[in-house]
Chains A and B, each alone.
Chain A
Amino acid sequence: MSLVEGASLALLIAGAAFFFAGTVGLLRFPDVYTRLHALAKADNLGLGLVVLGLLLRAPGWATGIKLVLIWLLALLASATVGFLIARRARRHGIAPWRAGDRE
């Protein structure tokens, strides 16, 4: 296995690990706001690492540019959609979970 292949595998596995952590966070975190944190951060980092890992295996520049474009669009989508969900939740009076409440 070449160095580039090894780095690519490591990045892909690390990416999948962050997706896993994001899912665990989604299951365990106590309210919608904290769950949004789990998705917005862990999953985006997971996708970033997967994209980086695949970039190292990309057959050409065209595919590489497409992959980066996909990553940028996904970041934009997560940030805007996450903001909107949080705002709607707050305007609809969904109270945030506080330390000391039942988890």
Chain B
Amino acid sequence: MNLTLTLAVFLLLNLLVALIRVARGPTPADRLLAALLFGTTGVAILLLLADAMSQTAFIDAALVFALLAAISGAAFARRAWREEVPDDESR
């Protein structure tokens, strides 16, 4: 077993433990942390697998993961910032 595969499996275990922790909450905000986990740990696992298995397609999958994480973040942000306009004007 080569090193990148070992590290990918190690990170997968990390992700599993973290997801169990996140699913337990206790608040809804804690559960939202899963979005962050896929954006970082998920991406790292895919990149390491791409190297371990010489499958460059996994890099593209990682790119899509990161892009989706960024776009969903930006979409939420736009909505949330619009709510804030009255506060900005009253300043």
Contacts and interface: CB of A to CB of B under 8 A. Distances in A.
Contacts of B56: 63
A54 B47 contact: yes
Contacts of A50: 7, 44, 47-48
B14 A77 contact: no
A95 to B, nearest CB: 10
B3 A12 contact: yes
A12 B18 CA distance: 20
Interface residues of A, number: 46
Given A12-B3, A43-B36, A85-B36, 20 more contacts: A13-B7, A15-B44, A19-B11, A19-B44, A20-B10, A23-B17, A27-B17, A35-B33, A63-B56, A70-B59, A77-B70, A77-B73, A80-B77, A81-B36, A83-B77, A84-B80, A86-B29, A88-B29, A88-B32, A92-B27
Interface of B: 3-4, 7, 10-11, 14, 17-18, 21-22, 27-30, 32-33, 35-37, 39-41, 43-44, 47-48, 51, 56, 59-60, 62-63, 66-67, 69-70, 72-74, 76-77, 80
Interface of A: 9, 12-13, 15-16, 19-20, 22-23, 26-27, 32, 35-36, 39-40, 43-44, 46-47, 50-51, 54, 57, 63, 66-67, 69-70, 73-74, 76-78, 80-89, 92, 94
